[in-house]
Amino acid sequence: MNLVSKYNKKVLKEFTNPKNMGEIKNANGIGKIGNPTCGDILWVYIKVEKDKKGEEILTDIKFKTFGCAAAIATSSMITKLAKGKKLSEVEKINYKDIVDALGGLPNIKIHCSAMASQALKKAIEDYKNKIQIKKRVNY
C-alpha cells in the first residue's frame, strides 16, 4: 500500500506542506512526547499572552516532529486548531478533534493524533507550572 492510498487528501496536504513547523525561541510552554513502539517524537512550543481583557491567548504555536506522515499531519493540524484561541478553549482540543479536522485517519494511525494532543497538553502544563513558580518567587 502506498502513501497516497493510505491517507486522504487533507492528511497528505498537511504532511507535504505542514504549517507552524519549527521552534519558538522564547516559548513559555514546551511539551514533548514520544512513542517507543513506532519511534515518533514530537515537541510542541507555545507562546501565551494576555489580551486586553486579561484572557490568556495562545498567540503562537510551533512543532518539531520526527515521525511518519500521520505524526507530521496531526502536529500541523493541532497548531492550526489552537493558534489564536483562548487557552481555555485550547485545553479542550482532543485527538478526535484532530482526526475530524483531517477528515479521518487510518485506525492504525489514530495514536498520532493522541500524541499531538498530549504534547499540546504537556506544553500548557509546562506554561502553567512556570506561572506558579513565578507567583511563588514574587510572593
Mean pLDDT along residues 135-139? 67
Structural domains counted in the chain: 1
Contact 20, 84 (CB under 8 A): no
Mean pLDDT along residues 90-106? 97
Residue ranges making up the domain that contains 124:
3-137
CATH number at residue 105: 3.90.1010.10
pLDDT surpasses 70 at 61: yes
Instruction: Give the catalytic positions in this structure.
Output: 38, 112
pLDDT surpasses 60 at 1: no
Enumerate the H helices of the chain as residue ranges.
Answer: 3-6, 9-16, 69-82, 87-90, 95-101, 110-137
User: Confidence class of residue 132 from pLDDT cuts 50, 70 and 90?
Assistant: confident
